[in-house]
Structures are given as C-alpha cells and as structure tokens.
A and B are shown apart, each in its own frame.
Chain A
Amino acid sequence: MLAQTGAQAAAEAMRQIDPDVVPVYPITPQTPIVESFSKIVADGLVNSEMIHVESEHSAMSAAVGAQAAGARAVTASSSAGLALMFEVLGVASGMRLPILMNIANRALSSPINIHCDHSDSMGVRDSGWIQIYSENAQEVYDHNFLALKLAEKVSLPAMVMQDGFITSHSLENLEILTDEQVKQFIGRYKPQYPLLNIEKPVTMGAIQLPDYFFETKRQQIQAMSQAREQYDAVAQELSKLTGRSYPKIETHNLENAQAIIVVLNSTAGTALAAMRKLKNEFREKVGLIKIRLFLPFPQEEFREIIKKAVGENLKTIAVLDRAVSLGSDAPIAKEIKNALFDLSNKPQVYSYIFGLGGREIFEKDIKKVYLDLISKKTDHQVKYIGLRQ
C-alpha cells in the first residue's frame, strides 16, 4: 500500500508498463504525471526513451511514429494540450496504433482556467479512441493496465481519464501489483505489421481515395465494436489479480430505486457518499450509475440495466455532465437518451450540468438532485448545479 496522488498512480502504472517510448509535453494538471515519470526515468527504473517534445502535436506525432515502428508508446495530456493533439489523435486511431494516454481532465479555454471539467476529453470523443473514466487514484492505476491490454487486443488507442487536481493532486491509498504481475498481465506488445520489420516491409499512412477510404473507416467501426465485446474478458482477467471489479457500467442500489443519478469520474464518489447519507426513507428509493467505459459506449448493457430497473420501480434518471456541448444536449445526457430511445417503457431523463472550470460540487448538491427527483420537483429544462442564478 502506497500513499499516492492520481498523477503518481498513473506514473507508477507507467513504470510497471515500462513503455519503450514516452513522448510527452507538460501541462497543468497533467504535469505531475510527467514529473513523476521523468524521475523514474532519471533513476534508471525503466528502459523507456522519454522524448521532451516541443508541443503536444509533436508528442502525439512521436507516439504515432514509435508505435508504428513497433514500440509501445505512452503519453499524457490535459485540456489545451489534448486540443492541440486533435489532428494526430485521428491519425493514431486511423492507423490502428494502440497508444495509451493518461488525461488529467481540465477545462478548455476561453476563459483560461486550469481546473477540472470534462470538456477536453469529451471534445475529442469522435476521434476513435477508447475512453475509460476513473473515480480515484486506484482506478487510474488499474485502468492503465486494462486500457493498454484492451487497446492492443483490438488495435485502437485508449485514454484513461482522471479529474484534474481533484484526483491528480489528491493523496490516496494505492494498492499496487508486483512488477511481475503487471508484466504477466500486459505481456509483450506484438504488433501485426511493425514498420521496422525489414523481413516484411509495409507502407503505413498512405493516401486512400474514395474507392477505399470508406472501407477502412468501416474496419475502425468494427474494431470499436470488438473493444466493446472484448472489454469484459480483459476486465475479468485484471479482477483476478486485483480483487477489484471493473464493470463497464457500475451500478449501486438499483433494486427498487425510483430515481437514479448517472455520473462519471470523481463525482461518482461524491454521489455515492451523498446517497449513503440520505435518510433511510429516501435512501431506498435512489440509486447510482457510474460509467467507466464511455467509449465505445455500452449502449445495450445500459439499456438492459435500465429496462430491468424500470420493471422494478425506476421512474427518473438525472444525468450529471461536467461538460457542455454548446448548442446541443450535454455529452453523457445525449448518449443516454440515445441508448434509451428504443425502450418502450422509458424513464424520464433529466440533464444536469455541474462543475465547469472546477466549480465545486458537494454532497448536499447531489442530495438535492435526489430529493428533487423523488419529489418530482424537476422538469425537462437543463439544470445547473452550483451556478448563481
């Protein structure tokens, strides 16, 4: 057991993965991941080649080059850094390179703000990366191995999210695996067509015109479906090592719940604590869903969970988003409405926006959402938690 921050947990996982190449550019609040890992490199604890690049665009480009060559590449970013990578994120996924990236979630400018919201990772959700969200440092650590193994199985890149500052800078207890266990679990990276294999030369990243581009994109769609199908097997294998479980959608107290909250990352912990502190008469009426695998979104599992809950008692769902999709519904709310569209017996879905730019959310705020849902004191207007009216 170690006392580590979320950032240190990510760096510790990277130490045990011992990636061949780590091209990275520091940005708040991801910086302590880079700092911790560069100390690990300086101490000679890994064989990784750390490349100090001049920007995040270059960081992701170098990761693409390294991974294409046949190396394992891991990087990390936040906010504007992730935004600067945008072009190359699509190159990584289009070239089917299973790069692993740690994200400490931070608001996007403008106004400039260094604190947590999910506008960065939600802003790149169409770029073909697997997205796994983490509630705390322990999940950050565990999800690194889970994401890497899943990514390499289906040849798609994966990012592991943690809340900037809230998780990345908070000290928590961390249970770690032995180096040998991690090595066994992730195995060796065996790319199908490494660029450096001179026995079997290949051309990567060549132009594809209207006659084949569409077919190549169809393969990527298929790979995302495979990631959804193969996730459980990888998660169960990791579970055997850690004793912790990693369902795509984590449910709490759904039996007999009339109202549930859906949320991801650290606020899931806040919501769980709030739920447990409700008075008995209310507590038995509410539940919580934490989304771990956001992309590929586990639509069918979600639909089945809700179908079962509606069959019991479920009437309303509040979806809490720490990001906005300006001019449209918030990202998670949209996914959930989409997933439930085909259900004949649908619960009401309400969208709540919270925590933009690091605005704090407290247990009392979550409690109020639950009480509003139960007492039906809500409507289909989008609600803003913690905003001065």
Chain B
Amino acid sequence: MGYNQSQKLKSWKDIPPAGLILSPGNSRENKTGSWSNKKPFFDDKKCTQCQLCVNACPEAAINSGKDKKISVNPDYCKGCAACVEACPRKAIKLN
C-alpha cells in the first residue's frame, strides 16, 4: 500500500514572505507528518489486530475501524517506529 498525504506542499513562489501566517487557527492545516522520511507498512498475514501499536503511537496516527482493521494516517505519522517496537508479531516495517 502507498501513502498519499492530503496536504500538497507549496512552492516558494506561492507562500507568504518570511514564513508569515496570515490566518488564525492554522495549526489544523499543519500536517505534522510532512517531514517524516518513512511510514509504517503492515503485514496483514502477521497482524492479529491486537491494538498495541494504536496505544504506542505518540501521535495517535494509528487507528482501528469497527472491523478492528488497523490504518495509519500519513498526515500525522512522523515515522518514529514506536509501532514497530511495540508489535509483538513483528508485523510492521518502516519503508
């Protein structure tokens, strides 16, 4: 599976000068995962949906749906690999 971030980063020609922020409440727009180099990938055959990675994620970027299926929100995943460490089945790899 590939990750597509919802935020497209802008060119230097399209941003305000001097890093100015022109409207309040913009921290919502700041996708903190934009600077990660790697994202976690799950091996569905090994994953038992035990949810330990959900608790280990410091950014709350790993969620599980009603079907307990794990999903990662790439907008906020900073690629720290806490989930990789937490997984008892070694089902997660950073790539």
State the A residues within 8 Å of B (CB): 94-96, 155, 192-193, 200-206, 208-216, 218-219, 222
Q: How far is the CB of B31 from chain A (nearest CB, A)?
A: 8
Helix, strand, loop or mixed for chain A's interface? loop
A216 touches B9 (CB 8 A): no
Cβ 8 A contact of A218, one of B9, B12, B18: B12
Taken together as a complex, chains A and B put the C-alpha atoms of A215 and B18 apart, in Å, by 10
Given A212-B9, A218-B12; A204-B35 close (CB under 8 Å): no
Given A203-B21, A211-B9; A216-B35 close (CB under 8 Å): no
B15 interfacial contact with A, CB 8 Å:
yes
B11 touches A216 (CB 8 A): no
Q: How far is the CB of B72 from chain A (nearest CB, A)?
A: 19
Taken together as a complex, chains A and B put the C-alpha atoms of A218 and B18 apart, in Å, by 10
B66 interfacial contact with A, CB 8 Å:
no
B24 touches A204 (CB 8 A): no
A215 touches B10 (CB 8 A): yes
Residue of B nearest to A206 (CB): B21
Contact residues in B for A96 (Cβ distance below 8 Å): 17-18
Contact residues in B for A203 (Cβ distance below 8 Å): 20-21, 24
B34 interfacial contact with A, CB 8 Å:
yes
Taken together as a complex, chains A and B put the C-alpha atoms of A212 and B9 apart, in Å, by 8
B19 interfacial contact with A, CB 8 Å:
yes
Contact residues in A for B1 (Cβ distance below 8 Å): none
Given A209-B35, A210-B35; A215-B12 close (CB under 8 Å): yes
Contact residues in A for B11 (Cβ distance below 8 Å): 215
Q: How far is the CB of B75 from chain A (nearest CB, A)?
A: 12
Taken together as a complex, chains A and B put the C-alpha atoms of A205 and B12 apart, in Å, by 17
Residue of A nearest to B33 (CB): A211
